[in-house]
Amino acid sequence: MPAARASLPSAFGLVLLLALVPVLAPGNITLLNLGFLTFLYVAQGVAWNILGGFAGYVSFGYAAFYGLGAYTTALLWLAGWPPLLTYPAAGLVAAAFSLIVGGPTLRLTGPYFSIATIGVGEAMRILMLNLDRITGGASGLNLPTAVPSKAWFYLLALLIAAAAFTVAALVRRSPFGLGLQALRMDLEAAEGLGVRTALFKNLAHTLSAFIVGACGGLYATYLQFVHPDTVFSFTQSISLVLITLIGGIGTLWGPVLGAAVFYAVQDYLQTSYPTFHLLVYGVLLILILLFEPRGLVGLAGRLWRPLAAAVSRGQAGAGAGRTG
């Protein structure tokens, strides 16, 4: 991507612009909520993309990290911790869990890894539903009601999304990121060239699990309620797959664009057809796989080939901002 070099400065500009929203419209709760949830998905999509896009390991099990993060924050918060301190802890718990499951499952290749992650994710959901002493089981857990303002949540989610994007951009450029892309293209060749594939895969998995776990924690404080069937749900896992694939898997801006579109479509359709958005995403996913594997980012590049550089640098960013 020729515009990759300019990605960080333009992202930085975009973040500054978006940070002005709560200052200019502090009373617009709808906008702040929409922004919060979009940024939360941006952060997770970007994180998922580190393993799924750069390394090519498509996981259908990230709800396990999200849910563990949400419950870590919930339990620590109930134990009297200030919310802000629980987020790193939530990330660490998710990261630790990713090491446990990643060790064996990341040995599987391609679709077999994907199938195994569905198994892990669903097993976690059922286990958590049954651990009712800790998780509240099928009735969930109510959390303290004293929470910071919507603007605070908005800014914190923006910060996490920006941090995740920076991490992904840095990873992509580093030898680590090149190693991930090499092992995606040919595992054995990468190994032959001296890439420590097992270490790199697990590192990418852990890094993205940390971010998603922290997002889960943030979500728990935002909602003031956690339930195993929502935070550990299969829908939560596939959201990340869809966001990244629709936006453009393996690209830097893809998950950002994907999350903005994902949340805008969901929000627009939710009022009239509560689950109809999944139909739209299903069709989009099929079309993208058949015609444009690089997703919306690839489509944008193709439509405005002469302006491609400007699009991925400026307009793609501004477009994501408008819909978000």
Partner 1 sequence: MFSAENLISVGIAALLTAGLYAIMSYGLAIIYGVMKVINLSNAGFLMLGAFLALVYFQRWHLDPVLGAFVNLPIFFAAGWIVHRLLVRRVVTALPIASLLLLFGLWLVLQNLALAVWGGEDQSIITAYTYKALPVFGFRIPVTRLIVFGVALVVLSILHFALGHTYLGKALRATVQDPVAGLLVGIDTEQINAMAFGLGTAFAGFAGGLLTLLFSFNPDFGGTFQLKSFTIIVLGGLENLAGVTVGAAILAFAESYAVLFMRASLQNVIAYALLVVALIVMPGGVAQLLSRRRT
Residues that bind partner 1 (CB under 8 A): 56, 58, 104-105, 107-112, 114-116, 118-120, 122-123, 126-127, 129-130, 234, 238, 241, 245, 273, 275-276, 278-279, 281-286, 289-290, 293
> Token pair for residue 165?
């994007």
Specify the residue, 89 or 284, whose C-beta has the smaller distance to partner 1.
284
Alpha carbon separation from 323 to 35, 197, 263, 281, 311 (Å, rounded): 9, 38, 9, 17, 16
Q: Which residues of 64-79 are buried (b: 16+ CB within 10 A; e: fewer)?
A: bbbbbbbbbbbbbbee
Residue 224, phi-psi category: left (phi > 0), alpha (psi -120 to 50), beta (remainder): left
State the nearest-atom distance from the C-beta of 293 to partner 1, in Å: 8
By beta-carbon proximity to partner 1, the closer residue of 108 and 163 is 108
Beta carbon nearer to partner 1, 175 or 282: 282
| Shortest spacing between CB 4 and partner 1, in angstroms | 23
- Of 228 and 319, nearer to partner 1 (C-beta) is 228
Let me know: does 217 contact 72? Beta carbons within 8 Å.
Answer: yes
Q: Shortest gap between Cβ of 27 and partner 1 (angstroms)?
A: 36
Q: Are 36 and 152 in contact (CB under 8 A)?
A: no
Q: Which residue number, 105 or 323, has a Cβ lying nearer to partner 1?
A: 105
Nearer to partner 1, 53 or 324 (CB): 53
294, 251 Cβ separation under 8 angstroms: yes
Q: How far is the CB of 242 from partner 1 (least distance, A)?
A: 8
Nearer to partner 1, 122 or 203 (CB): 122
Give the residue from 37, 69, 42 showing the smallest Cα distance to 317.
42
- Residues 125 and 114: their CA atoms lie apart, in Å, by 17
* DSSP assigned state of 17: H
Whole-number Å distance between alpha carbons of 180 and 293 = 19
In the complex with partner 1, the residue whose CB is nearer, 27 or 111, is: 111
Minimum separation from the CB atom of position 245 to partner 1 (A):
7
What are the DSSP calls for 37-74, one per residue? HHHHHHHHHHHHHIIIIIS----S-THHHHHHHHHHHH
- Residues 252 and 1 sit within 8 Å (Cβ to Cβ): yes
Cβ 105 to partner 1, closest distance in Å? 7
CB of 59 to partner 1, least distance (A): 11
Rounded to a whole number of angstroms, the minimum distance from the CB of residue 117 to partner 1 is 9
Q: Output the CA torsion sign for 151, 152, 156, 157.
A: negative
Token pair of 163 as six digits: 């941090």
Cα gap 255→242, rounded to integer Å:
9
